[in-house]
Amino acid sequence: MVDISTPIEFKQVEGKSLFLDPRKEYQLTEEKLQVRYDPLTGRTGHFVRLGAVKPQRLPIESYSNPEVKGFCPFCSDLRYRATPKFPEYIFPDGRLSKGEALLIPNLYPYDVYSAITIMATEHVVPLERLNEKILLDSFSIGVAFLKRIKSIDPSLPYHLMDWNYMPPSGGGLVHPHQQCFATQFPGNQVTDEMRCSKAFYKKHGVNYWKELVRIEQQRDKRYIGSTNSSHWLASFVSLGVLGEIIGIFPDVYSIDDFNEAHISELASGIRRIFSYYVDKNIFSFNTSLFFGPQDQEFFSAHFRIIPRTFLNTRDHASDLCFYQALHQEPVCVVMPEVMCKEVRAYFTGKN
């Protein structure tokens, strides 16, 4: 018999809203909704108006036209002439490079150590062309940067890698680039996760993230698949309006544990998700890769990815509204269990 007992609680509350629907001659109509509690942090998320938001097609190829493009410091040799360099004590050559990827300091730093990885030489790289090589090289130099910072300033406990891709995500330049930080202040999400992961470990004697993978794999509702040691799930509470996928590296705790094999597993998982996104006409996303402090075994490294879209391309309404911005409440129109079934096919095939 399969053991499905677990200290992790997946709590949800159903609700419905009644109104007289003008589309149905004002018949009494009910719209279902659901509120879920994040099983780690207890923070809630709303699932509403399922299917109400559709990803909008972006005019990707037109972004290269000179009248649209404007000045891009990441293009051509400007990436060497118009971007900053690190002081010699960090990198003697000033920058890090691998393949097409080039890592530079952020001219507008978000934190004490703040880098940008220019991922490719091309200004516009559609999802189909964001291949495994580009991902591997970009993540490799990002990880190398964070490891280097950790060695020169071990007092900063958190290491993060983020990515805004295309305008709906908040990306200021369409030229693909990632952000890397070493910080004492990893943001409210990670701070909550850290505190609750520690409490969970203390109370139950197991790592939450390993237990989450175990129970999701057994229950088979939100478990998408694995790429060797990494496990990919549809999040029970989605931080994005069109769903969220989380990739967990159960045995990786701090940046120093993250090796080339893990980077390769990460790139493989992301490529599979990109294939799914292409088929779903998703053109934009945010990602985050979180690493905890060293000398702990309760917070495993994990990667989050959410699609982003304009609500429409007529006036470019954002998919972030008062709910997320002011109530700090995620709203999602895609059920994780439904999305999971769709994405699973991309993890079993050779996408």
Q: Does 102 bind Zn ion (CB under 5 A)?
A: no
Q: Does 74 bind Zn ion (CB under 5 A)?
A: yes
State the nearest-atom distance from the C-beta of 73 to Zn ion, in Å: 8
State the nearest-atom distance from the C-beta of 289 to Zn ion, in Å: 23
Q: Which is nearer to Zn ion, 75 or 90 (CB)?
A: 75
State the nearest-atom distance from the C-beta of 75 to Zn ion, in Å: 3
Q: Does 47 bind Zn ion (CB under 5 A)?
A: no
**How many other C-beta atoms can be found within 10 angstroms of the C-beta atom of residue 306?**
24
Q: Which is nearer to Zn ion, 125 or 143 (CB)?
A: 125
Q: Which is nearer to Zn ion, 72 or 135 (CB)?
A: 72
* Alpha-carbon distances of 279 from 202, 242, 283, 335, rounded to whole Å: 43, 14, 10, 18
Residues 178 and 115 sit within 8 Å (Cβ to Cβ): no
Cα–Cα distance for residue pair 193/126, rounded to 1 Å: 33
Q: Which is nearer to Zn ion, 118 or 311 (CB)?
A: 118
Q: Which is nearer to Zn ion, 179 or 288 (CB)?
A: 179
User: x/- site string to Zn ion, residues 108 to 147, per CB under 5 A?
Assistant: ---------------x------------------------
State the nearest-atom distance from the C-beta of 74 to Zn ion, in Å: 4
Q: Which residue has the tokens 């495994």?
A: 132
**DSSP assignment of 94-159, as one string?**
SSEEETTEEEEE-SS-SSSEEEEEE--SSS---GGG--HHHHHHHHHHHHHHHHHHHHH-TT--EE
Q: Does 214 bind Zn ion (CB under 5 A)?
A: no
Residues 140-179 that bind Zn ion (CB under 5 A): 175
Residue from 40, 58, 72, 289 touching Zn ion (CB under 5 A): that is: 72
Cα–Cα distance for residue pair 277/308, rounded to 1 Å: 11
Q: Which residue has the tokens 């910080």?
A: 183
| DSSP classification of residue 257 | G
Q: Does 75 bind Zn ion (CB under 5 A)?
A: yes
Residues 119 and 101 sit within 8 Å (Cβ to Cβ): yes
In the complex, the residues that contact Zn ion under the rule CB under 5 A are: 72, 74-75, 123, 175
